[in-house]
Structures are given as C-alpha cells and as structure tokens.
Structure 1
Amino acid sequence: MRKLLTAVLSTAVLGTAFAAAPASAGGRDHDVRFATYNLSLNRPAQGLLREHLANPDVDDVYRRQARNVAEVIQRAAPDVVLLNEFDYDPEAVRLFAENFLAVSQNGAKAQRYLYRYVAPSNTGISSGFDLNNNGVIDTTPGDQAYGDDSFGFGLFPGQYGMVVYSKYPIDPRGVRTFQNFKWKDMPGNLIPADFYSAEEQAVLRLSSKSHWDVPVKVGRKTVHFLVSHPTPPTFDGPEDRNGRRNHDEIRFWADYVTPGKSSYVYDDRGRRGGLKKGQLFVIAGDQNADPADGDSYDDAIHQLTGHPLINTRTTPASAGAAEAATLQGGANLTHTGDPRFDTADFSDTAPGNLRADYVLPRVNIKVTGSGVFWPVRSDPLSRLTGVYDPAWAAVNGFPTSDHRLVWADLAMR
C-alpha cells in the first residue's frame, strides 16, 4: 500500500499524522463508528513492540495477542478508534496497521486505516524528583521505582502510550496536544500539597499520558476527537495522589468543551483556550473511573456523564459483561452499577469489573447504536476476551486485554 507522509507537526507538538490515498469509509448510511480500546499492547522493554509487530508470523504469546486484538478491531470495524496502552513508536503504529489490521484475522474483514496520529506520552519520562516519596530519586529506566518517579508511570519513555486510527482524514494542522500542561495551572486543582514539595508541584504535569484534540473531517464537518488515558485512581497512599490526578485529568475535558471554563488551558504550542461554542466533539478513552463503583475520587466521571453538553442518553452495554459479573462473583456482587455497562474485567483484583472506557459525543450528535465487545461464553468469539489465565501473564493475563472495545455509531448527516 502506497503511503504518503502528509504532515509532521512542529517539534513543539511532537506529533506525527500519516495519511495515504483516500478510500471509502463508514458504510453505515452516513453513521460513523467511533471507538476506544485499551488493547494492552504495551511491552516490558522499549523496542519490543516494534519487533513483535514486524514479525507477525512468529507463533508466541506476544504475536498471538497482537493478532487477537487486531481481530477484535476487525470484528467491531470502527471508523475512528483510539487505542490505549500502545507503546509510543511511530513505526510500530505503521506495522500494526499494515501487518495486522490490514490482514484478515480468522476470516474477519481486514480494516484499513489510512489516517493515523501518534505523539509522545508522559509515561516513563523521568521527572528528576522523588515523586513517590520513598527517599530515592530513581533515574534508571526499567523498574517500578523509576516508573513512580516519572511524569507518568512507565518503565521506559512511551510505555502505555496511545494512537488514533481513522478512515476519515485527520487535520494535522488542527491537532492540539497537552502533554506539558502543568497540573498547578488548573484552577482549583486537587494536587495533594502536603505530599508534593513546592519544587515538585512547579513541574508536575497533569496528563499521565497526554490529552489530544484530534480533528477528524467527516464530509464537511469537523469532529474533535478528544482522547486521553487518565491514571488509575489506585497505587498510592492516603494522600490519594493518583485518585486526585485521575479526577483532574477527567475534569480537563469537561472544562475544555465548556466555553467560559477553558481560558486557563494552553497546548504544547502555547495556544490558549478550549473548543469554541458549537464545535462538534467526541470524548474517548480509558478514563479509569466508574460512575458507581471502584476507587474514583469524588465521583470523577460524573464530570463528563453529568455534563450538559455531553450526550449520555445511550450507554454502551453487552450481555457478556452481565454474564461475567454473575459467574465471577466476588466484588461484583457488592456493586451498585448495572453490570451490563462494564468494560473492564478486573475480577481477579479487588475492584471487580467496572465501566472504565467511554465514547461520549456532544449532546447534539445522535447516537444510532452502541455496544461493548464482550461476547457471552457460549459465543465462539468469547475466545477473544476470555478470563484471566496465567498462561497469558506476559500480556496482562488475557488473550487480548482486560479491557473491552467500546463503540458508538454517530449520525453525522
């Protein structure tokens, strides 16, 4: 497939948009399927993901997982999709598209994404400070302590990054990234001031990975695909630094889409403010926050699900999630939320299964269909989701991921 590099954004943005010759997209009578998928394609060492994706025919657990997550995407067939936990590497982005998504997996229809966007992540970037307060500043990549002292947790720079694939054109000049936005610059922020020193607070970045505004051209309309992956509200102490950060990472988009609340925002090129009144948007990502259960700080996700400019009339659901909650029991039995809406299988850990992943369009965009790729166990495709199995421990314990792909069909007439 001939590919043209249509834009490399300025070094201040540090992002890359790729495109190839135009092709038809959609196929749902002008509906566009937007999706998010935390597919756990992170690897334990830098460069491994590229190596695995460059050799798709090798039969090992890493390639099998890559083929499985590609098949999930092919079965769901989104037009625009955010992938979370994809190690930052533009070449790996190309290899996954060409060697896996564009090749039929088990008879599923190949998917060709001619437009892609990728940019660096805060994960695994050393802060130079003792951010976990263990008395040691760890600047050697590869271990837990180094990850704790990085701007976003990662064993090496870019681990747990993200990428956007699209069948519709991405406007590279319009992309905005907020990787370097300082947490302290959010008015009313929740930084635990008793935990972080004044020097640390001065450099702390809000995004544990990054926040991106990726404009997608759908016909004559521009839809701002607002994507991120807030830190889990766990793995901390009584100061709840990760819970507070998760809350404010989610709040960022709530403010960004609200005229009058986003004047404090600045992007990595110094441009200020958020969306203008009336601009179309879809917020997507693994928000690591459930509306009713789990460890979120101060009902964090309600900043989006209760927002007057966000369409939450339809909630993606699956029969497989409801079945899993019943069969797995445990913490699931204490939950108050509807298990049909769960998007992550955490039954092997304390929280139980949760709704963590979201596709949230602007209030004036009609949702014509939605779902979560979580087949019931009697469905042959349940082999792609499975249950936790130590045999898959090298890739997070599942044949694909502990998260499920979530999609919404949006009327873009």
Structure 2
Amino acid sequence: MIAGLLLAWLALPLWAESLRIATFGADLTRRGPGLLLRDILSGKDPQVAAVVAVIAAAQADVLLLTGVDHDHDLVALTALADRLAAAGAPYPHRFALPPNRGLRTGEDLDGDGRPGEAQGFGRFTGAEGMAILSRLPIAAEAARDFSALAWRDLPGALTGPDVTPAQRLSTTGHWMVPVHLPGGGLLHLLAWHATPPVFDGGTGRNARRNHDETALWLRLIEGGTGPPTPFVILGNGNLDPADGDGLPGAMHALLAHPALQDPQPRSNGGAMAADPAHRGDPALDTADFRDGPGQPGNLRVDLVLPSAGLRVLDAGVIWPPPGAALAAEAAAASRHRLVWVDLEPP
C-alpha cells in the first residue's frame, strides 16, 4: 500500500510547487546504429518498456539520459519521447549532441602503437551518448559544448606521455545547456558522462581521465565568473566517492564545493542491497553493478548537484525494495537507477 502511494506521489506534476531535475543512466545502447530505433518502434523490447515505465513514474520536468545511442536527426530520441507521451510523460523539448564515444580519429591516442582509436570507447559513432528530455523550453542556441577540449588543455590535468595532443578530455561529452524557467530566467544544466576509471590495462590512464572529466567542472566554477546561476551539475561521474576504483580527489572536491549543494538522494532499495565491505552509505547508491571478487558492487555514480542558491525541497533514487511497485521495472531497465531532485523554482 505504502509503495503504491509513493509511486502515485512520484507521478504527480509539481509545476507550481517545485521543479524536478533528474538523471538516468538508461542503458539505451545497442551493438550497431539504428538498432535502438528498431527496438523502440517494435514495442516488444522489454528493456525499453522498463525504461519507459521508470521515466513515466519519475515525472521529471527535466531529465538527462546517459548511455543512449545518438543519431543525426534524433530519430530514436523522438521515438522514445513518443512512447513516453503515450505513457503519460510528455517531453516536447529534446536536445542532444554527437558524443565522443565511437568517434574515430585515425590516430594512436594512447600510445599503444595502434592507430585508428576513438575519442571515447564506443562500438560505433554515436554510441552511448547523452540526451535531454524537457518539459521546459530549451535554449539550444545558447548551449555550450566543451566536448572538443583537448585533455592536455585542462589546467592541472593528470596527463602524461601516453596522452597525445589530439586526445579530447570528454569520453562522452560536457555540455552547458540552458532551459527556460516557468517564471522567467534560465536554469543552466551542466551535463557529463565520464569514463569508468578502469579497463585500461593497469596503466591508470582511465582513472586519470575520469578524475579530470570531473575536474573540468571545478575549473569552470572557479575560473573567472563561473557558470551562470542558477545551475545544476548532473550526469554519470562513474566514480563513487567512497567505494570502488579510481582517483576520488576531484569528486570529493565537487561534492564539498561551496558553490554547490549535495542533496544526497536516497532509496530504501539501495539500503537493503548493501555491500557489506563498502564504506559508503548504501542508501545513496545509484547503480547495481556485479558483486563478487573483482567486481565493484553497488556504487553511487549518478549525481544531481544544484548550485548553492537554489532551494532543495526533496530528493530520491528510484530503487524500490524487492517486491515493491516498480522494483521489477527498475531492475530490468538498467544497472543504474534514476536520480531526482525537487527544487523550488527560482
């Protein structure tokens, strides 16, 4: 009964009282171009159906999707939006830029003697990108894309001789996208999806890149005038501040930065799925990775961090306990769980 009431509450539109901002690592990626569109249009793919159910339950006003395949005309994203509208979650405004994942260069970017590597790992150009679905109009003409920044050009970057001048910092992308607020003005979305800090053959290269992809936001906040306020940093940092592998210094600095606030979204499902060896609070976890020797277990990697001047009303992670409403859909949709934060409209 309580779980059903909670699900109904999550589905309520809160336009007058609050603004819900969310991020979701939706795992909407396939092994080749066009296959995601095929699966969305078929109406028979259980993972797509589960993703639609989770997003429809969250009823976010602005949603950043990570891990979603990109196509030039946003055909797959439009098809997903049509499915969501049919499920009672209309998103008339959409935004996406091509990701660095799968973007072939013809160069040897990591110094391993094999040319032709992509700027970020991806099975094809456009794989595992990002996209914004919004009920608020998007000021696309004012969006800024930092995705072409060379890794070496980031002040204080943890590069070494294995990083060439052609290597971009962003594995997927770094965007600053304004949306129009209901009462006027703009809210700037600072979106990113970093590389996992592993899978680099023990060189530490991915750990350094992951660190610096988060550090870019610190440089932006602390450099000159910083991003326009109000703003929200959101996406998949692919690093737990307490558990798992990686270099957590930049993440610790971001979560504690005085220009930001960490609402610490929580869930009962995450708390109940705790990994005994982990140090962090399991209620804050946002991804259900494999357990066991050499596996990371559950981690907090998906973040929504509002700027300090915004008033946070509530926050949560859609990770219901086993047997509760939406538990099966959340597990079938993705390894990640949708993270949401309710803000008082500025």
Q: Secondary structure at 2:249's aligned position in 1? A: coil
| Whole-angstrom distance in 2 between the partners of 1:50 and 1:118 | 15
Q: Mapping of 1:139-154 within 5 angstroms?
A: 139=116, 149-154=117-122
Q: Work out whether residues 178 and 210 of structure 1, in 8 Å CA contact, stay in contact via their aligned partners in 2.
A: yes
Of 91, 99, 102, 1:113 maps to 91
1:231 Cα shift?
0.5
Which residue does the alignment assign to 2:38?
51
Q: Deviations over 1:143-197 (max 9, x none)?
A: xxxxxx210000100100010011011112211111211111111111132x23x
Q: 1:228 aligned to 2:192?
A: yes
| Aligned match of 1:335 | 278
Give the TM-score taking structure 1 as reference length: 0.77
Shift of 1:257: 2.4
Equivalent-residue separation in structure 2 for 1:35 and 1:295 (angstroms): 25
User: Distance in 2 between the 1:160 and 1:348 partners?
Assistant: 24
CA contact under 8 A between 1:192 and 1:239: conserved in structure 2? no
Deviation at 1:128, TM superposition (A): 1.7
TM-aligned CA distance change 1:132 to 1:204, over 3 Å:
closer
5+ unaligned residues in a row in structure 2: which ranges? 1-11
For 1:222 and 1:49, how far apart are their aligned partners in 2? Answer: 32
Q: Which residue of 2 aligns with 1:172?
A: 140
Distance in structure 1 (CA, Å) of the matches to 2:198 and 2:254: 20
- Structure number with larger C-alpha Rg: 1
Question: In structure 1, which of residues 25, 31, 41 is the aligned counterpart of residue 18 of structure 2?
Answer: 31
Identify the residue that residue 249 of structure 2 maps to in structure 1. 299
Q: What is the aligned partner in structure 2 of residue 207 from structure 1? A: 170
SS where residue 276 of structure 2 aligns?
helix
In structure 2, relative to structure 1, the CA distance for the partners of 1:37 and 1:342 (3 Å cut) is same
Among 123, 126, 132, the residue aligned to 1:155: 123
Amino acid at match of 2:283: R
Report the CA distance shift for 1:203/1:135 in structure 2 as closer, same or farther (over 3 A).
closer
- Structure 1: which 5+ residue stretches go unaligned? 1-24, 105-109, 140-148, 263-273, 326-331, 387-398
List aligned pairs for 1:60-71, cutoff 5 A.
63-71=45-53
Shift of 1:55: 2.5
Q: Quick check: 1:175–1:213 contact (8 Å CA) kept in 2?
A: yes
1:335 & 1:119 partners in 2: Cα distance? 36
* CA–CA distance in structure 2, aligned partners of residues 38 and 181 of structure 1: 24
Q: Is the 8 A contact 2:240 2:248 kept in 1?
A: no
TM-score by length of 2: 0.91
Q: Choose the corresponding residue for 2:313, options 343, 368, 384.
A: 368
**Count of paired positions:** 330
Aligned-residue RMSD, C-alpha: 1.7
Output one character per residue of 1:371-399: Cα deviation in whole Å (capped at 9) or x when no partner.
0000000303211133xxxxxxxxxxxx1
- State the 4+ residue runs in structure 1 displaced beyond 6 angstroms: none
Map 1:313-328; keep pairs closer than 5 Å: 314-325=263-274
Q: 1:121 to 1:68 in 2, by over 3 A?
A: same
Displacement, 1:407? 0.2
Q: Tell me the percent identity.
A: 40
Counterpart of 1:412?
345
1:258/1:275 contact within 8 Å kept: no
Separation in 2 of the partners of 1:135 and 1:64?
41
The yes-or-no answer on 1:288 pairing with 2:271 is: no
Deviations along 1:348-389, whole A, 9 cap, x unmatched?
361111000000000111110100000000303211133xxx
Equivalent-residue separation in structure 1 for 2:290 and 2:271 (angstroms): 13
CA distance in 2, matches of 1:229, 1:235: 16
The match for 2:290 is 347
For the residues of structure 2 that align with 1:73 and 1:340, how far apart are their CA atoms? 20
Q: Helix, strand or coil for the counterpart of 2:333?
A: coil
User: In 1, Cα distance between the equivalents of 2:227 and 2:288?
Assistant: 34
Instruction: Tell me how far apart the structure 2 counterparts of residues 129 and 357 of structure 1 sit (CA, whole Å).
Output: 31
Q: Which amino acid aligns with 1:275?
A: P
Determine if contact 2:20/2:341 at 8 Å carries over to the other structure: yes
CA deviation after TM superposition for structure 1 residue 255, in Å: 1.8
Is 1:35–1:80's contact at 8 Å kept on the other side of the alignment? yes
The structure 2 residue matched to 1:275, chosen from 227, 236, 242, is 227
